[in-house]
């Protein structure tokens, strides 16, 4: 916290203050990024997507392994919705 760091004395040599300012800058940049994403966001009703056989944003696909007869289902989503597991 910047206020707490200020109380520790001379700001020129106050590492806690500089770290708090840097953290504040990163948080403010993240807020601007999120606000920009929200401003440009478009809600897509996936129930209205045509079934054309193409894999596009919002569709659900099932991938089958023909050798093992196992299948996995995926929903194609944007980067903010992705839950990447490596």
Which CATH number describes the domain made up of 2-40? Answer: 1.10.287.180
Domain limits of the chain?
2-40, 46-75
Output the 3-class SS for 32-84: HHHHHHHHHCCCCCHHHCCCCCCCCCCCEEEEEECCCCEEEEEECCCCCCCCC
pLDDT digits (tens, 9 = 90+) for 26-83: 999 999 999 999 999 888 888 888 888 888 888 889 999 999 999 999 988 888 888 8
Is the pLDDT score of 5 beyond 80? no
Task: Read off the pTM.
Answer: 0.53
pLDDT for 18: 83
């Amino acid at each position: 916290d910047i206020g707490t760091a200020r109380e520790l004395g001379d700001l020129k040599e106050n590492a806690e203050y500089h770290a708090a300012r840097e953290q504040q800058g990163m948080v403010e940049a993240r807020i601007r990024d999120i606000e920009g994403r929200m401003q440009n966001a478009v809600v897509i009703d996936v129930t209205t997507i045509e079934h054309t056989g193409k894999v596009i944003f919002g569709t659900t696909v099932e991938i089958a392994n023909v050798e093992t007869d196992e299948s996995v289902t995926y929903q194609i989503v944007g980067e903010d919705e992705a839950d990447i597991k490596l």
